[in-house]
Structure 1
Amino acid sequence: MSTSLAPSSDQVNLFHCLPVPRGSYSNVYERQALRMVIIHNAFIRAFNSILYYSAQIPISNPKRINSFIRYCDVVNENLHMHHGIEEELYFSWLEERLGAGSMTCNVDGHHSFEAPFKAFEELVASIRDKKKTFVPVEFRTAIYEFMPPLIDHLKAEIETLRVDKVKHIPEKEVWKMEADTDVKVQGHSNLTTSGQFWVMNGDGKYGAWFPPMPAPILFVCMNVTYYLNTDMWAFGACTKNRMIKPEFAAYEPELEPESSP
């Protein structure tokens, strides 16, 4: 880890989102890296929001702490689901078409932050189960242990999905994988929290098309399920209308520079 990130008092250090690739989500080859950046940035926003709000919660308010810990659980669960589906379905499919070893670095990247992330999950669980007291500095320090290797992995993964890497796969096959992935995600999703996670941490500027929810489901996420857990979603990086909150605006992404002709 970068030890300079570890706060000595109440200092909170947040992380910048990844630059967004130029391209169209309707172009299936440009879509691969673009979609992955949209997903990765949602997790960066989510952990930024956890870091930020960890310093705002009155430690004498157990109800507020409980809501915060529930939010942390949802973020952690979604990260597990994302990486599980990548390894089980997406990366194995790509490796069959791009060659043995082409996705090894991505799977290895998952392992690079595995131990400190597990330690953070255990800390969250111990607070949830009332075995430990919520100590903000300790809590943030646990996040700073896994965030640098996580972000290194998130950046490196994008390079394996660039157009020049995936353009040799037949277009119909790529679209089918998109559909298969959507089905897999839906099968692992929680009806009251998964969609809302993306609303509260997604990209309303460059990635309003993701996740590919039908309009009625998006409406439900913004206007129904949000109100089932308002205490928890208060910790998201965005409003229920997918607008980034001012406290996180400085960490929002820009488009990648245009390629030289």
Structure 2
Amino acid sequence: MNTKAEANTWADTPFALLNIPGQPNTPACTNAGVLSVATEMANVHNVLLRALNSVYHQAPFIQLPGDVADLMLYVTAWADTVHHHHSLEEAMFFPKIEQIAREAGIDGWEGMMGGNVDQHHEFEPKIAGLVKWAEEVGAGQRTYDAAELKSLIDEFAPVLTQHLHDEIHTLIRLEDCDGEKIKQAMKDVADEGAKTADPNLVIPLVLGCVDRSYPGSGNFPPVPFFIPYLNAYWFTRKHKGAWRFNPSDHWGNPRPLHSPELRNCIYNYAQDPRDVRLIHKPTQQHEQTNKTQPQFFGLTQVCRQLRSEYLPMYMAQTKVHIQCQDSLSYIKTFILPTGTDPKQARGNLIVQLPDQWYESRGASPPQKDIIEAINLCRSAPQVNIAFALRDVPLSQSRFASRRMQDILRDLEQPEATPELHDFIQNSVEHVECWIEMRLDDSSYHLNDYVHVVFNVDEEWKDCLTDG
């Protein structure tokens, strides 16, 4: 964190937690059954608030695609838990409470939980909007924006917080009711929740947002002793990355909030500012020409988590020079491997184009097709592609490079020539580009020519033939 104050920030703010009934400075209740239910419900509500506070505090520091995906899953898991909790209240718990209050002769028993239901209906559509936003971000349809996320939370959090506090006061009003019946109603709801909730989402979220040091929370949740262990080694496995945003560990012990900005600072410190130059070899396609070790790429080979965290930063900050014939395999291996969303891909790739001088040395002609690199310019906004002339004699590169910049700028920048890129995307199979050095018959000077050839698909070939 950046300051001492931020370092002490935890998930008990900004949305205020509840004081647990039975603790000092809370409404008195002499009915043991009612007090037990109110205590358990207050602890459940604090779990929901801690998770929301955790998102609110950590959202501004999330940058990497893997972190964003995990946070979006955490947000939707929280929202699903809230919806599941309130749906069971409306369907099972509140009707039973009103029936028990009627049997006890409580004044105003009819509709006494109606105010809580009205609050549900006030904030639930806004939470649904948050879920829709998170799902679109997770699917790559929206760009993650921490300020927008916090703004969406601000729209419903005050009403939600007030509701979670008010509901406990409503339960305390049941002091003259049959406490055992109220406890049974609560148990029935808990049992139904255990049957219908996804244990891979609800259990890690709930146990990770408990604070056993909080007054009145030492024995919450009321589960067998082995459940936290089962959670730690089984239920958290499926969505492991999301639970780092929990404010507590698996056993309900508070821990510092996840600090990706500190981790990123360490990664940035390790980042090597030098460019990487890859050369083509028949036996080893990609090899660094710079033999000094290393470019810290080895950090991506340590474990899956480190790879998911560090690789996007490495790809975003490192310029890779690669020969044209290797560009397709490099893109498919490192920038757009199978299953990668182009909008989440990162990279800085400098493609060295072939030239006639290179081919005249007797080497086999290198692949000239650059359509994959061109398409990447269009589909992956966080990938920077540049085309460059490979190392050739000064007399050639001095003249060609100036024209190269003008000609290739249109291929590198889709926004500058959208019609050209639409044509390439829809009608072109291959794009070849190379440099030719030709002797001028009149001046006897060597001139350089940039060749760009579009190989169109069969439909266009027929149209051109008919024309």
TM-score (norm 2): 0.47
Q: Which residue of 1 aligns with 2:185?
A: 177
Larger proportion of helix = 1
Measure, in 2, the Cα distance between the counterparts of 1:197 and 1:208: 18
Q: Per-residue displacement from partner, 1:118-141 (whole Å, max 9, x unpaired)? A: 221221121122211101111111
Q: Which amino acid aligns with 1:187?
A: K
Alignment partner of 1:161: what SS? helix
Pairing partner for 2:134 from 118, 124, 130: 124
Matched, 1:157 2:157: no
Unaligned 5+ residue runs, structure 2? 1-12, 24-28, 102-108, 259-467
Whole-Å separation in 2 of the counterparts to 1:139 and 1:52 = 11
How much does 1:175 deviate? 3.1
Structure with a larger share of its residues in strand: 2
| Counterpart Cα distance in 1 of 2:238 and 2:33 | 36
> Could you say which structure has the greater relative contact order, defined with CA pairs below 8 angstroms and 6 or more residues apart?
1
CA RMSD of aligned residues (A): 2.1
Task: Give the Å deviation of 1:170.
Answer: 2.4
Q: Deviation string for 1:30-65 (max 9, x for gaps)?
A: 11221121111111100111111111111xx21221
SS at match of 1:181: helix
CA contact (8 A) 1:28 1:175 kept: yes
Secondary structure at the counterpart of residue 208 of structure 2 = helix
Pairing partner for 1:44 from 35, 43, 49: 49
Matches within 5 A, 1:232-247: 232-246=242-256
Query: Does residue 1:17 correspond to 2:17, yes or no?
Result: yes
Matched to 1:28, the amino acid is: G
Greater CA drift, 65-74 or 226-235: 226-235
1:112–1:192: structure 2 CA closer, same or farther, 3 Å change rule?
A: same
Residue identity opposite 1:22 in structure 2: G
Is 1:209 aligned to 2:212, yes or no?
no
Partner of 2:339: none
Q: Distance in 2 between matches of 1:229 and 1:56?
A: 20
The answer to whether the 8 A contact 1:48-1:237 is kept is: no
Which of these two proteins has the greater Rg computed from alpha carbons? 2
The one-letter code matched in structure 1 to 2:49 is I
1:57 and 2:32 aligned: no
Q: Size of the alignment, in residue pairs?
A: 231
- Does 2:151 match 1:141? yes
Question: Once the 2 structures are TM-superposed, how far is the Cα of residue 89 of structure 1 from its aligned partner?
Answer: 0.6
Q: Aligned partner of 1:16: which letter?
A: A
Kindly state the Cα deviation for residue 228 of structure 1 after the two structures are TM-superposed: 4.0
Identity %: 23
Does the 8 Å contact 1:42/1:202 carry over to 2?
A: yes
Output one character per residue of 1:207-237: Cα deviation in whole Å (capped at 9) or x when no partner.
2433322222232013332344331100111
| Residue 66 of structure 1, CA deviation | 0.7
Letter of the structure 2 residue corresponding to residue 142 of structure 1: L
Q: Which residue, out of 75, 78, 86, partners 1:75?
A: 78
Q: Is the 8 A contact 1:226 1:240 kept in 2?
A: no
* Structure 2: distance between partners of 1:218 and 1:118: 30
- Tell me which residue corresponds to 1:190: 198
1:87 correspondence with 2:97? no
Paired amino acid for 2:18: L
- Distance (Å, rounded) in 1 between the aligned partners of 2:239 and 2:140: 21
Q: Which amino acid aligns with 1:88?
A: A
Distance 1:187 1:228 in 2: 19
- Supply the distance in 2 between the matched residues of 1:180 and 1:242 (Cα, whole angstroms): 25
